[in-house]
Amino acid sequence: MSRLELHGISKQYPAVRANDGVNLRVLAGEIHAVLGENGAGKSTLMKIIYGAVLPDEGRMLWNGQPVAVKSPAQARALGISMVYQHFSLFDTLTAAQNVWLGLDKHLQLPEVTARITEVAASYGLDVDPQRPVHTLSVGERQRVEIVRALLTKPQLLILDEPTSVLTPQAVEKLFVTLRTLAAQGCSILYISHKLDEIRALCTQCTVLRGGKVTGQVDPRSESNASLSRLMIGAEPPALKTRAATAGAPVLQVRGLSLPQPDAFGMALRGIGFEVRAGEVVGIAGVSGNGQQELMAALSGEDPRAGPGSITLQGQDIAQASPRKRRKLGLHFVPEERLGRGAVPSLSLAQNTLLTRTEAVSKWGWIATGRVQRLAEALIARFHVRAGGAGAAAKSLSGGNLQKFIVGREIAAGPTLLIVSQPTWGVDVGAAAQIRGELLALRDAGCALLVVSEELDELFELADRLHVIAQGRLSPGVPVAETTVAQIGAWMSGLWDAQPDMANIA
């Protein structure tokens, strides 16, 4: 029986035709992947199904009956739930209050809180219902979104990049949950750029390219290479790697301890490590174990670090402002694209001014033509699909915005580049490009610190690895001398007991 059918769905935006005559059929109890490169129209199509975007043309059948879904509330009433790639949570409310907003109002908040705890525990999703959302990391926010969707007991569950910031262990638990839901008759639309996941989980796959359906296959009978060819017309380029030639220390962190920034944050305890010129140091860890706090201390957002605990090329920057750190060559890519990496309502050209000052005179005058040319150069170099330098940041797909933000910092020629979740939600071709650019930057002598919850990415990029758990940092270990299993165990804090100050490798 068909749970969902789409016929001739089209959606035109001023600069792009996001969907062009799309047909899609999802059976009851089917886990159906929607695959496509960044900007292929996947998220727009899912928003149309969920009622967040209205199509220009086409019709939709729900359980065999024609429907016109005009709002997410109507979609939820039908039995459709969605977990967005960019989260739809209110920062000032708690996790429980956010979940409560999307449920029937006859439920009381204490009852919702109890159900969140129960569902989170049964599905292995660590969610504290009482925590305000603004204190949560990206991975923790994603878990809140997933729990909220599961509480509605949907007939169709739409997941847009659900594992992008989950650990391998959490991904396995989520897959068990999804297979259980499918066995109970729930249909699942699954968007991911992780081809291994699609082949392991999904039974059908619809491929979009340029807003059009270009194929439908059983991913279990395909290879990563064949899926890549369907999606981007070619296999992603292989990374050209060479052994790092590490130079002098660029970033040194010694005895960095910070109390919790708030009641729900993570305290940092005796953090010590260094990053040398011409090497990539990776930091792995389960979301919420101190990554945000460490990034804030390194970027200058949190100026509470003790004098001498953070040095850049021998200069004490522990309490320096973000602007001063940038002048010294430190550039930073935060994990949150919209709101921190870019201002949603500003154009790409205007967003270059957040961290790039080449077009600003010492008197504060902005050379708008130069800003425009800088943005256009970034769009061209990093193959960003956008309606030009004047396009608003929020109009880009998540992956294309990520390419622009990462490119903005790479092209600045940093001495030290700190990147959090560099390829979150980015398709295989774009991910290969970003990783290649990062390695080229390393080979040019830049020091790189990469924080990621995707272990495969860290093993591909990093020369040395640390793990952060409960605000403590593991010893450093060369990637060639460790395994995914060992790093996975360390993510639970299971490394040999030794003084934290010995963490400098």
- Structural domain 249-329+413-503, CATH architecture: 3-Layer(aba) Sandwich (3.40)
Same fold, 2-232 and 249-329+413-503: yes
Please determine, looking at this structure, whether the domain spanning 2-232 carries the CATH number 3.40.50.300: yes
Positions in the chain whose pLDDT score sits under 70: 85-86, 104, 164-169, 234-241, 496-505
**Residue from 264, 317, 315, 318 nearest 290 by CA:** 264
The confidence score (pLDDT) of residue 426 equals 77
Residue by residue, DSSP assigns 404-473 as: HHHHHHHTT--SEEEEESTTTT--HHHHHHHHHHHHHHHHTT-EEEEE-S-HHHHHHH-SEEEEEETTEE
The confidence score (pLDDT) of residue 491 equals 85
**Which pLDDT tens digit goes with each residue over 175-208?**
888 898 899 999 999 998 888 889 999 999 999 9
Number of H helices, E strands in the chain: 16, 21
The confidence score (pLDDT) of residue 179 equals 92
The confidence score (pLDDT) of residue 503 equals 43
The confidence score (pLDDT) of residue 504 equals 40
In the chain, where are the structural domains located?
Answer: 2-232, 249-329+413-503
For residues 22 and 188, the answer to whether their CB atoms sit within 8 Å is: no
3-class secondary structure for 263-286? CCCCCEEEEEEEEECCCEEEEECC
